[in-house]
Amino acid sequence: MEIRTVVSQPAKFSVSALLILAYEDENDRFDPWVKDLDKSIRSELSRLEKLNSIRGKFKEQTLFHPDSDEIDHVIVVGVGKRNEFSLDKLRSAVAAASQVARKLSASGLGVPLGKFLSLPSEAGAAAAVEGAILGLYQFKKYKNAKSDEDNHQDFPRMLGLIGGDKQDAARLEKGCDRGKILGESNIFVRDLVNEPSNVMTPTAFAHEAEAAAKKFGLEIKVIEKREMEKLGMGGILGVARGSHQPPKLLLLKYKGGSGKSFSLGLVGKGVTFDSGGISIKPSENMHHMTGDMAGAAACLGAMIAIARLKIPINLITLLPLAENLPGGNAYKPGDIVKIFNGKTVEIINTDAEGRMLLADALSYMQTMPVDAVVDLATLTGGIVVALGAAATGLFSTDEGLTSALLKAGEASEEMLWRMPLLPMYTKMVKGQFADLKNSAGRFAAACTAAAFLKEFAGEKPWAHLDIAATAHLDSPLSSEEHLYLPKYGATGAGVRILTVLAERLSEKGSLS
């Protein structure tokens, strides 16, 4: 899809489809520029509003075909109350309009921004472009049968961001680049997570990471099984024992800043398939476990976005990759394994495998020159029960890092909710025959999992983001608030918030 910025009055811009935002305020339904358009199309909008066909409720869509030489279709998308309008609502509206334009085989979609909209030009352009890219995303790589939708696959071919003057256009152009980078980085993550596990093995993921590193100027080292054995990484090696697929530990670096710049460590859980191991999961919904490497994918996608945006920060990322299968050599309940930092862990449940990978990676990260560490993981069903898909669970040992993440969550509109790390949870993961046990049972499961990870996070500021509910959607209800999310499959959660976090830390230079 070609993305263009133009200077024009929306009513005079020749485009196949034009987006109009409608607000839920009866006396303030449209932005001011719409009055001129309405006059040029014989007050069709006013007529539909009087008929109560346009009410401005969030997600409501109205399509009509005006009597106009410039515009073939007008797509009206409701965005709710004007005082609640946000970049995320714009992102959703453009996603919805893009989907309608595709069904219409509309060659182009025009989106009035800049002085035509009550949002900052640059940020608005970024949100609009990101919304279009994400809203049009489909994963059909393995489908042979063609559907009616496939006849419209290439539409819309152009997204036109309409500004009122040259100053508008310059800001829109800058925002357009940002939105394109964030959108494409998110799509990269979605594609990785949606791949089946017979394709996306630890080795295949490593190859994808190597290709991305070469393309975007990242340093990468692939730590193989033999080196992990020398390093004493019993967590990763234990989980991988039941599979024929060898584990990998990816070490990636981005040097965007100087030696004095903030250095952030990222760790992402990369279980490319999780059967539960000997503590095997129920067969129902086990197919979702192809996406248990979403944390690793998100960290890699964020690194790509940060590198493309040239953010002046230094990043070190560790991505432990393994399959968790119940083979004859699989690790078992009752086993005791030693982690890189020397602590021993009694295996209570082999399905609590993600924390074993993270334990080695987090403790290994303590040997790296980073100022703070954030890990992302589809870690627990407990966080799904606690928060649903509305928010990602945040656990942290540092108030400065917590504050930075919460602010980044607000700015990126990827919602975080802080969860407790009480001393009781640490007591619950103490082992009987080893230093720790890898599962404390069902009660406070997300909290005890975080308490377990804390034992390997060292003294540096650390935060854990449990993205088990937000990284993968399996119900249309989950995507109702964000129309740029798919109704099913990977969301790319984590890319935007980590990118915004990196920007803010690079500007401040510290957590204080």
Give catalytic residue positions: 281, 355
The H-assigned helical ranges of 259-353 are 294-308
Residue 472 pairs with which residues in a beta bridge?
490
d(CA 498, CA 305): 9
Contact status, residue 295 vs residue 269, Cβ threshold 8 Å: yes
d(CA 411, CA 17): 30
d(CA 361, CA 457): 9
Classify 202 as helix, strand or coil. Answer: helix
Tokens of 211: 């290709």
Q: Give kind and range of the element (H or E) at residue 251.
A: strand 248-255
d(CA 502, CA 493): 16
Note every long-range contact of 329-332, with CB atoms under 8 Å and residues 24 or more positions apart, other chains counting. 329/241, 329/242, 330/241, 330/242, 330/277, 330/278, 331/238, 331/239, 331/241, 331/242, 331/277, 331/278, 332/278
What is the residue whose two structure tokens read 């346009």? Answer: 54
Angle at 181 between CA 183 and CA 105, to 5 degrees: 45
Cα distances (Å, whole numbers) of residue 356 to 144, 193, 345, 352, 501: 39, 20, 9, 7, 26
| Interacting residues of 135 by C-beta distance below 8 A, sequence separation 6+ | 94, 95, 96, 98, 99, 483, 484
E strands of 269-378, at which residues?
Answer: 270-274, 314-324, 336-338, 344-346, 372-377
d(CA 211, CA 215): 6
Q: Using CB atoms within 10 A of its CB, is residue 323 exposed (0-12), middle (13-18) or buried (19+)?
A: buried
Contact status, residue 411 vs residue 500, Cβ threshold 8 Å: yes
Q: Using CB atoms within 10 A of its CB, is residue 399 exposed (0-12), middle (13-18) or buried (19+)?
A: exposed
Closest of 376, 404, 411, 198 to residue 298, by C-alpha: 376
The residue type at 455:
E
Contact status, residue 175 vs residue 122, Cβ threshold 8 Å: yes
